Amino acid sequence: MSAERMNLPRFAAVLLAGALFGFGLALSTMVRPEVVLGFLRFQDFGLMLVMGGAVAVTVLAYGLLPRLLGRPLLGERFHHHASAWNRDTAVGAALFGVGWGLCGVCPGPAIAGLGLGNWSLLWALGGIALGALVQGLRAR
């Protein structure tokens, strides 16, 4: 949001978008580590449907909206995050997977879990915050 100031409509838009995301995480039970670990142990393939559904909607949105609209309704331009394949991405993704396979919690559910009163997830949330801090302190 560089050079684009936060105002009430944008605040409400971001909050509502986050709420849809969080509702979806809770409805799909991705906020329960047991369900995620069950997928990773090939006992329940539900996570594929969650990812598939979310990616399908996102492909349509990212592909069509910039062609249909000149600019976002409350913003100046459609952003694009280029991802790169390099050593950091490879090592980071591999470490992320080890952690995810150990706890069954990724960043979204760790945050959304607070809305379910599942206080045990605070351990994961604290771990993620600490990991992000150490990564930043080690980075050049």
Partner 1 sequence: MNLTLSLFPLGWQHYLLGGLFIGAGVALLFVLTGLVGGMSTVFSSTWSFVVRRPFFQQARFTDSRGWRLVYALGLVLGALVWWLGFAGGAPQTTSVPVWQLLVGGFLVGYGARLGNGCTSGHGICGLGSLQWPSLLAVLTFMATAFLTANLVARWLA
Contacts to partner 1 from residues 35-74, by CB under 8 A: 35, 37, 40-47, 49-63, 65, 69, 71-74
Asked if 132 is part of the footprint of partner 1 (rule: CB under 8 A), the reply reads yes
Rounded to 10 degrees, the C-alpha dihedral 96/50/125/101 comes to -40
* DSSP one-letter code for 71: S
The distance of closest approach from Cβ of residue 3 to partner 1 in the complex, given in angstroms and rounded to an integer, is 8
Asked if 8 is part of the footprint of partner 1 (rule: CB under 8 A), the reply reads no
Number of residues that bind partner 1 (CB under 8 A): 118
Asked if 7 is part of the footprint of partner 1 (rule: CB under 8 A), the reply reads no
Neighbours of 29 (CB within 10 A): 16
Alpha carbon distances (Å) from 79 to 7, 9, 76, 115: 19, 19, 9, 29
- Using CB under 8 A as the binding rule, the residues of this chain from 85 to 124 that contact partner 1 are 85, 88-108, 110-118, 120-121, 123-124
Radius of gyration of the chain from its Cα atoms, rounded to whole angstroms: 17
The distance of closest approach from Cβ of residue 35 to partner 1 in the complex, given in angstroms and rounded to an integer, is 8
Taking the CA atoms of 62, 67, 71 and 73 in sequence, report the sign of the dihedral they define.
Answer: negative
Binding string, 18-37, against partner 1, x = CB under 8 A?
xxxxxxxxxxxxxxxxxx-x
Asked if 136 is part of the footprint of partner 1 (rule: CB under 8 A), the reply reads yes
Asked if 139 is part of the footprint of partner 1 (rule: CB under 8 A), the reply reads yes
**Nearest partner of 101 among 41, 48, 47, judged by Cα:** 41
